[in-house]
Each structure stands twice: as structure tokens, then as C-alpha cells.
Amino acid sequence: MSVASSFTILDAPVSQFPLDLDVRIPKIRELFHLSTSKQWDPRVDIDWEACDPSIYTEEQRYAGRLSWSRRAWTEYAAISESPALQVRFCHEKRAPDMRLYFTIRSQEESRHAESCFRMAERLGGYIEAPKPKAQQSVATHGVRRMALDPSMPLEAIIAALVCTSEEVAFDVFRHLAEITRDPAAKRIHQMITRDEVRHCAFGWRFLDAQMPLLSRAEVKAVEEAVVTMIEKVELNGYHVTWLSPDSEDAREEIAMDRLAWEAGLGATVEELEKPIFIASIRSIRERMRPWGIDLPNFSHPKLGTF
């Protein structure tokens, strides 16, 4: 996603005081307290012994390793998003509820990445990076840079990152939690889904409070950011592997996902995921409509126009 200016908020003078810790957005403060009570530890809250690698073939184990490694790559990206957004929240002296909540969000994304890494290790070893032609789908989507760009409204970033991309991720994880058979893999999906529902709620609660305060130009900037996230990131295969641009490397990932799905190791396939993805985008479109955001129809060779 593009950056409009080379000047960042890091170049601006720091103005920390007066320090406000009062409740400004009660529904987000509620999420902060809920998250602190829902902490979990990947080391002990996942029964790793429940996953018996010996019952899978070597090819199935490799497929599982690739699938879980890919998930770790995307989860790891969120670890760097959260601190950048924290800097933005503090720079703009946004509601303290947001700053408090994102301290927990960072922890949650970290344990998601760790869980995915541990599952890949359990199956024979984490894969450190995608093959070259598959990297274009899982490369960073630019949120860190956007967060530091004062010309990009914060509301646009949250709408694109949380109410769009994380909403897609939540729907995918919920689907995976339902269809995965391996006990450890299923448990990981269940625990991540439990966290992701709060991540999505943060975005919607924040924008429900903020969107009525924006100018028409700012609302348009929010709309453009969401469209870019869908067209350039999600429809490029960031969360849904089979949407990736065609290449030998992408075809291998898609084939391995099918093997991992057949083994019940925590992946899914195009025919199951397609209606979920379309429904997710349609839901986002309808939910944003009352804010004055009119998302267009989107197209993809594997999805048609929707």
C-alpha cells in the first residue's frame, strides 16, 4: 500500500503531557480488561503431545509444515504493526483505551506466531521463508509505514487493517477451527479465533465512535484504504493461498494446502473457502455502508465479480 509522504510522525516534536488515562471509549476499555483475563501460553495451553507426527506420511508432514509456516509468516507481520500503531496513538493523543488495548494485542499476535511456529516444528521443522515467487503474496502490506504517515488518517488504517484484513482472517480461522481434525492444530485455531474476535471488535468499536466525526474527504480516504487492502492484499493471496498470482511456487503451496487439509492438519481448500471469503467481503461492505462508504464490486479470476 502506498505512502503519500516521506515525512513521518517520528520527525515531529514529541508532546507527551498532559497524560490522560481516563476512560474515553468504554467499549474498548472493556476489551482491554477482557483480554487481560483471557491470556494463554502456547507452551502449556496447547497439548502438543496430542499431535502424533508418526501417523502422517512424510508428504503430509511437509504439507503441514509449509501451511503452518506460512501462517506464522503472516501472524509475525502483526507483531511489528502493533508498536507502529502505538506510536501513532500516542502521537495523536488518541483515547488511552486504545493504547492500553494494543499492549495486549501485541502479546496476542506474538503467541499466534509462536503457536504456528511450534506446530510447524512438531511436524518436522519450521520453514523460514516462502519461495521467491510466493513472497509477493505474504510480503508486508505497508501498515507500518502507513501508521507513521501523518497524511494517512488513522481511521483509514484501522478500517483497512482491522475491519477488513483481520475480519477476513477471523472468518478463515473460524472455518479452520471447525474442519481441522488434528487435536493440537484444532486447539491452536480455536485459541487464535478467540483472540481475533476481540481484534475485530476493537476496529468496529473505534470506527463506530469516530466515523460520524469525519469530513467527507476523510471518509473517502477510509474507503480508498479499504479498497486497496482488498484489491492489493487480500485478493493477492495474503490470507487465502489459492488467490495468489499464478506461479510454480504458488501452485506448490496450494497443492500442499490440499494435502494438509486431507490429513486434517489445519489447512483448507478453494471449494470450501471460496464462499467464506466472498461472504466476508460482502459482510464488510454492508457493515461499512452506514458510514457513507460504498465499496465497489471486486473481481478475481477464481471468484468472478462479487
287-302 tens-digit pLDDT: 999 999 999 999 999 9
Q: pLDDT tens digits, residue range 199-226?
A: 999 999 999 999 999 999 999 999 999 9
d(C-alpha 122, C-alpha 6), whole Å: 43
Coil vs helix vs strand at 233? helix
State the cell numbers at 169: 482472517
Q: Give CA separation, 55 vs 51, 60, 185, 258, 263, in Å.
A: 9, 10, 14, 17, 10
CB 51 within 8 A of CB 106: no
CA 287 to chain centre: 18
Q: What is the pLDDT of residues 154-200, one digit of tens each?
A: 999 999 999 999 999 999 999 999 999 999 999 999 999 999 999 99
Examine the pLDDT at 123 and tell me if it is beyond 90. yes
CA angle 197, 153, 162 (to 5 degrees): 15
Average pLDDT over the chain, rounded to whole? 94
> Average pLDDT in the 120-139 region?
90
Let me know if domain 26-34+47-290 sits in CATH 2.40.50.460: no
DSSP per-residue string spanning 199-226 = HHHHHHHHHHHHGGGS-HHHHHHHHHHH
Residue-wise pLDDT for 101-112, tens only, equals 999 999 999 999
- Per-residue confidence (pLDDT) for residue 141, from 0 to 100: 67
Give the separation between CA 21 and CA 99, rounded to whole angstroms.
10
pLDDT in tens, 132-159: 888 888 876 678 888 889 899 999 999 9
HEC assignment per residue over 236-285:
HCCCCHHHCCCCHHHHHHHHHHHHHHHHCCCCCCHHHHHHHHHHHHHHHH
pLDDT per residue over 58-105, tens digit each?
999 999 999 999 999 999 888 888 889 999 999 999 999 999 999 999
Kindly report whether the global pTM for this prediction surpasses the value 0.85.
yes
Helices (H), the chain: 26-36, 42-45, 58-91, 96-122, 135-138, 143-147, 154-160, 167-179, 183-210, 216-228, 248-263, 270-288
**DSSP 8-state symbol, 291:** G
Distance CA 206, CA 24 (A): 11
pLDDT in tens, 223-242: 999 999 999 999 999 999 99
